[in-house]
Amino acid sequence: MEAELAALAASGATTLVGLMVSESWERAKSGLARFFGRRAPGEAAEEELQAASEELGSARAAGDAGVQAAVQARWRQRLEGIFQEDPSAVQELAQLLSELAPDASRTFVNLVSGGVNYGPVFQGSHIHGGITFNVQPVKSSVSGLLDRPDQVPPVTVPFSNRTAELAVLDEALGARSGGSGSVGVGVLNGLPGVGKTTMAWWWAGAARGHFPDGQLYVDFAALRDESGSVTAVGADVSEALAMCLRSLPGGSGNGIPSSLAERTNLFRSRSANLRILLVLDDVNQPAQVRALMPKGAGSAVLVTSQGRLGELAMDGARLISVKPLDAHGGLTLLKDRCGEEAVEAEREAAERMVELCGGLPVALQIVAARLVADDGLTMTELAAELDDEAGRLAGMALEGEESSVSAVLGPSYRLLPPDAARLYRLLGWLPVGVFDAGVAAVAADTDARSAKRLLGFLAKASLVEAVGDGRYRMHDLVRLHARERAAEEEPETEQAVVTERVGTHYLVLTAFADRALRRDRLRIADLSALLRDAGDPFAVAGGPPPLEWLDTERPAILAVLRTTVRHGLYTLAWQLAEAFTVLFLYRRYLGAWKESLELGAEAAAAAVASADTAGEIAEAAAAEARLRTLLSRPLLDLGENDRAGAELDKAAALAEAAGHLVLRASVQEFLGRYRDLFEPSRAVEAYQLSLELNEQAGETRGAAIAAYFLGCAQDAQGDHVEAMATLRRARHALEGRAEPDRRMAARVTAAIGVVRDHLGEPGDAIRELREAARVLGDEEATHYEAQALVQLADIAERMGGQESLVRDCLNRALEIHEAAGSRLAEDLRRRLDDLDR
């Protein structure tokens, strides 16, 4: 009973809202005010109705479909409450509307007069095992009324979200009933399970008043299942036309032509004087829509499809992409299904479930159903279960395969051509869901042109989404389904092969980016043979900026690192970690830097254990020493000081055993930086040894860098004049190289500024630090830029009278540290607050 009354309330509200903006409103308003006033004594019903009419008028003038939908929803709730309290009010309202505005109320009046008893007992209903079959009484033939088709299935669960998309449908299709001579077409497209069908059904139910001659419904997925064919478009279109012809007023099984062309012409003729809505579900070809276009003015066709069906845009179709729900929308859906109290009681777990479901409504509905069906299952427990990626899809299933995310995605996968299906499976093994055609080509071991063609098939099926800049996104649950299919259909060894191909691809690109940023940096891996025949995208005109590419691909490279280690590709892993570290010398993502170096060091150690030759052992041991040395930097910045010292001790022993002079010099340099914090008196000793080893190896850049740190240590010990001389030599060496090291030279300039301040030259100190910060900013060395700015602010604040400079420096430094997630940001915030007091 409640569902029927709700449907009547929705239709009545649609009629009421339509009346409020029609020429019949003034005549109808008083009678409707009496109807509502009798059921809410003391309330100013007429004023409320008029206010709603004015609100709708303003919304229409502004084109604000959201306000129109909100007004309609308010009156639907009011009518539903009235009908539930007094079922006889249904018939009373129908009679009142038929008298006051017979044309505008035709839909609601016909729905009420359909022969259903809206009293406490339903006639002709049979209940078996909790399923209700509502058998509608046959209309009397003497009534003279033609059957009005109402075939779109009802939405049987609470519906929320999708306000923007529904407003677009209202504007594109609902407005057609206002006298337009054209037929509106709307196409809802998106990946399987995103909620296209439910949204189409809900809109159709809410828009009954726009289509007084009824609504037809065709499920093309069901037609394909019946025919067993995925390619014979004409067969399913022909059957769809026959269904529609039988459903239109005066239609029957007799007299329906056998040919597709004749059925199309007859459908146009029969629909010419009707205003109907045709909902076509799960369309996969534009021809399925074109053949079923009704001819009646003000009619509309609402299509759902996994593909965009872009060709229909030439016919005036409105293409509407339906995306997964955002965090707020996902929580709203869970509240609808599980109750607001239950969600708020375990809000953190609920938010995690929305994240793990990727906002996909079908997944959220399934996990909600599991929670509702199992009183003993908490959201926290279910979120923990879904957190395991290997079993996530299994957790998103009810009893029986039909109620699962895998079952929803299965038909789309089965419709793919074989080579596109194989690419789909292999993409499931990628460790990330965003990739370009080059990565897809490497995964499938094909060329980029073929990969783009196959990605086109996947995009048309909404299994991947083009996100611009030549990149594609695969939803996390789609990727898990692809991986599930790969595990079933690909050879057992194929995943490791794909991982090695993709890992090598990223190694080549990362190594080129590393060399583009700084060619003369210490590297253990000899990649010359690997890079020799590869194209360098950063060296060509119009190529991507190497630092920006590294930053964009940071999640992918880190994920590839994890995967290569998991598959035992140890040499590949440590080589990638070594090349990747260049990003973090410019962008201080401490957590990612730490993890990548840990993975690399562990991989290098494993490579030593599994090496076959002395040369391989020596290279892997040197790599472990280098990576553990570098690891000390993020550990110190994160406050893990004891561990940083332990890593340096290991690195020093490994470098000594390797007999690699430049590596030994580098370890001593990093050891000096550690001692700066905990044993300042011994830091100078470490830097001097680093300088000597670099000079002995003929490594001039390494010697200049060691001199820079030596000068800083001398300044810290109070040897300011000696420090100035050391730093000037270092800057001269860095600036005078064939490939000047502007970034490192600017760091030396900042150190010279600090020494000038210690020598009592604050004006010169400010000048040096300003220049250093400028160059470091230009070089995108933001961590060191922030360091120079804070030093500059310290001196300017002490000098007094330069509050604006101090504030500018601290604000920019705060911006940099916040972006990097640095713990120094809070200190800078407090300092700025003190300036405001």
pLDDT tens per residue across span 238-296: 888 888 988 887 666 567 888 888 888 899 988 888 999 999 998 888 888 988 999 88
**Residue 132: what pLDDT?**
28
**Residue 521: what pLDDT?**
86
As a three-state string, the secondary structure of 29-80 is HHHHHHHHHHHCCCCCHHHHHHHHHHHHHHHHHHCCHHHHHHHHHHHHHHHH
pLDDT tens per residue across span 149-206: 888 988 877 787 888 888 888 888 876 544 456 888 999 998 888 889 989 998 998 8
The residue type at 627: L
Residue 658 token pair: 């390797």
The predicted model gives 395-419 an average pLDDT of 79
**Residue 113: what pLDDT?**
52
pLDDT tens per residue across span 501-529: 999 999 999 999 999 998 888 999 999 99
**Range with the lowest mean pLDDT among 363-372, 769-778, 807-816?**
363-372
**Strand partners of residue 189:** 305, 321
Q: What are phi and psi of 132, to 5 degrees?
A: -105, 130
CATH node for 741-837: 1.25.40.10
Q: What are phi and psi of 465, to 5 degrees?
A: -130, 130
CATH node for 163-321: 3.40.50.300
Residue 39 to residue 83: CA distance in whole angstroms: 11
Per 3-state DSSP, what percentage of the chain is helix, strand, and coil (rounded to 5)? 65, 5, 25
Examine the pLDDT at 432 and tell me if it is beyond 90.
no
Examine the pLDDT at 580 and tell me if it is beyond 90.
yes
Name the strands in the sheet holding 434-436, side by side, starting at the edge strand that comes first in the sequence.
434-436, 471-473, 465-468
CATH number for 406-490 (one of 1.10.3470.10, 3.40.190.10, 3.40.1160.10, 1.10.10.10): it is: 1.10.10.10
The predicted model gives 603-620 an average pLDDT of 93
End-to-end CA gap in the chain: 66
In contact, 601 and 643? CB cutoff 8 Å: no
pLDDT tens per residue across span 689-708: 999 999 999 999 999 999 99
Number of other residues whose CB lies within 10 A of the CB of residue 509: 23
Examine the pLDDT at 636 and tell me if it is beyond 90.
yes
Number of other residues whose CB lies within 10 A of the CB of residue 352: 18
Examine the pLDDT at 302 and tell me if it is beyond 80.
yes
**Residue 83: what pLDDT?**
79
Using CB atoms within 10 Å of the CB of residue 449, give its burial: 0 to 12 exposed, 13 to 18 middle, 19+ buried: exposed
pLDDT tens per residue across span 33-49: 888 887 776 567 888 88
Please state whether the predicted TM-score (pTM) of the whole model is above 0.75. no
Examine the pLDDT at 56 and tell me if it is beyond 50.
yes
**Residue 53: what pLDDT?**
84
Examine the pLDDT at 627 and tell me if it is beyond 80.
yes
Examine the pLDDT at 129 and tell me if it is beyond 90.
no
Q: What are phi and psi of 602, to 5 degrees?
A: -65, -40
Residue 420 token pair: 């596109």
Number of other residues whose CB lies within 10 A of the CB of residue 141: 7
Residue with tokens 């916040």: 818
Percent of the chain with pLDDT over 70: 87
What lies within 8 Å, CB to CB, of 21 at 6+ separation is: 53, 56, 57, 60
**Residue 154: what pLDDT?**
84
Examine the pLDDT at 133 and tell me if it is beyond 50.
no
**Residue 23: what pLDDT?**
66
**Strand partners of residue 280:** 218, 303
Mean pLDDT of the chain: 85
pLDDT tens per residue across span 753-795: 999 999 999 999 999 999 999 999 998 889 899 999 999 999 9
Residue 29 to residue 828: CA distance in whole angstroms: 64
| Domain layout of the chain by residue ranges | 2-125, 163-321, 327-400, 406-490, 741-837
